Amino acid sequence: MVDVKEIISVDIVPFTLMTSSIQAILALIFAIIFVITFGSISAFIPQSGTLFGVVTALGLAMIVIYPIGTFLFGVVISFLTALFYNILAPRVGGIKLGFEGYEVKSIPVVPFSLIMAFIEAVWAFIIGILLAAVLVPLTGIMGTMIPLVANETVTSGVTASLGAFGAFGALFLIVGLPIIAFVMGFIAHALFALFYNLLIPKVGGIKLELNQITSMSEIKSIPVVPASVAIAIIFTIFGFIIGLLNLVKMIMLGYAAEGVISLVVTTVIYFVIYFIMVAVVTLLYNFLAPNIGRVKLELK
């Protein structure tokens, strides 16, 4: 029997520390791959001693700076995201998960899509304000510079156009962008939940080994293979849809064979990439959890 539980809140500090630490380790892995890849390529290029030195220096700097920068940026993003969730969940409803034992058998579509879309809309609103704060002064500065290079007639027309552009652009960024983010986010997450509910009974779902502590439940560990398979299969469907749209476009252009190849390649790539990504993230979570603290959720 499926037991539906709602995530009422997230313990912000463990969530922030875990997610930012995982991001920092992934950044370190990427930096090391960069050094090895481009260092190897430059080493085989004739007369590339200077290039090799530059790539090596840049790569070594990335190994230090990139993970630290990613960690600090991740702390801000993760902290605010968890905070937004805790503020919004009592008002619009939190994510609901249908458990059968430790396995997540279903994700009710509307609660999941709604809370995620609201969080993305809030982020879009913040980004819109920041961009508008740059756009409006920039159009004003450009308006003051026009008289230096144009006559009075041209100046008045261009200044008015720049003013209108700045006002309309700011309005779109502050109002339109969050609305678009909400609609697109709701659709994307609804499709994710629908695909999960449709496919998981056949392939098995994500498993979360929970441990009850006081009023919170901590995620003790996440079995790697079930999570990797479940998420990879769902995103493979997204890859198939994208490949299918590309196939239609290429058929219209007269490249049906190339379109079929693109469909197959896109679908396979989506599965492989998301399987690896989820496997790495879950492995890191299971490794870090006993050392830096497990993510804690308030479930009802």
pLDDT tens, position by position, 245-269: 888 888 888 878 888 888 888 899 9
- Ramachandran class of 204: left when φ > 0, alpha when ψ lies in -120 to 50, beta otherwise: left
Question: Taking Cα atoms as reference points, which of 187, 206, 199 lies closest to residue 120?
Answer: 187
Question: How far apart are the C-alpha atoms of 82 and 87, rounded to whole Å?
Answer: 9
Question: How far apart are the C-alpha atoms of 198 and 76, rounded to whole Å?
Answer: 35
pLDDT-wise least confident of 108-117, 136-145, 170-179, 186-195:
136-145
In contact, 224 and 280? CB cutoff 8 Å: no
Read off the pTM.
0.85
Residue 138 CA: distances (Å) to CA of 155, 181, 183: 16, 25, 29
In contact, 71 and 288? CB cutoff 8 Å: no
3-state DSSP assignment of residue 76 = helix
Give the pLDDT band (50/70/90) at residue 191. very high
- What local confidence, expressed as pLDDT, does residue 31 receive? 83
Report the relative pairing of strands 3-10 and 96-100 from DSSP bridges.
antiparallel
Residue 25 pLDDT greater than 90, yes or no = yes
Sheet holding 103-106, edge to edge: 103-106, 96-100, 3-10, 296-299, 216-221, 209-213
- What local confidence, expressed as pLDDT, does residue 50 receive? 59
Give the pLDDT band (50/70/90) at residue 198. very high
Question: How far apart are the C-alpha atoms of 193 and 55, rounded to whole Å?
Answer: 43
CB 60: neighbour CB atoms within 10 A?
13
Question: How far apart are the C-alpha atoms of 297 and 218, rounded to whole Å?
Answer: 6
Torsion of CA 101, 109, 8, 298, to 10 degrees: 20
- What local confidence, expressed as pLDDT, does residue 66 receive? 86
Residue owning tokens 């690896």: 276
Range among 145-149, 154-158, 172-176 rated most confident: 172-176
pLDDT, average across residues 59-70? 83
Question: Taking Cα atoms as reference points, which of 236, 249, 243 lies closest to residue 262?
Answer: 243
Question: Taking Cα atoms as reference points, which of 200, 223, 195 lies closest to residue 281?
Answer: 223
Question: How far apart are the C-alpha atoms of 179 and 162, rounded to whole Å?
Answer: 25
Torsion of CA 278, 280, 285, 290, to 10 degrees: 150
More confident residue, 16 or 140: 16
In contact, 114 and 93? CB cutoff 8 Å: yes
pLDDT, average across residues 18-42? 84
Q: Going along 136-265, which residue ranges are E strands? A: 209-213, 216-221
Three-class SS of 37-53? HHHHHHHCCCCCHHHHH
In contact, 89 and 54? CB cutoff 8 Å: no
pLDDT, average across residues 104-108? 92
3-state DSSP assignment of residue 300 = coil
